[in-house]
């Protein structure tokens, strides 16, 4: 059980390190959004309580 716990901790640590480095270095490209997803995000942006910083 201790070995499994250590493996999970190392995997999560690598996951967070990868996400942090991508935020700094931008080495994983973001795929373009299709029209359906653009409509969803536009609908969310019209609801002010979802994004209070967009007021």
CA distance 38 to 30: 14
Both tokens of 21, joined, read 């480095």
| C-alpha dist (Å) from residue 8 to 16, 42, 48 | 12, 37, 38
Predicted TM-score (pTM) above 0.75: no
Per-domain residue ranges of the chain: 2-54
pLDDT at 54 over 70: no
7-45 pLDDT, tens digit each:
999 999 999 999 999 999 999 998 999 999 999 988 888
In this predicted structure, what is the pLDDT of residue 55?
Answer: 57
**23 contacts 30 by C-beta, under 8 angstroms:** no
């Amino acid at each position: 059980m201790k070995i499994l716990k250590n493996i999970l901790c190392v995997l999560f640590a690598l996951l967070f390190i990868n996400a942090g480095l991508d935020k700094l270095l931008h080495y994983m490209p973001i795929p373009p959004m299709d029209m359906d997803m653009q409509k969803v995000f536009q609908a969310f942006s019209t609801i002010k309580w979802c994004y209070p910083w967009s007021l």
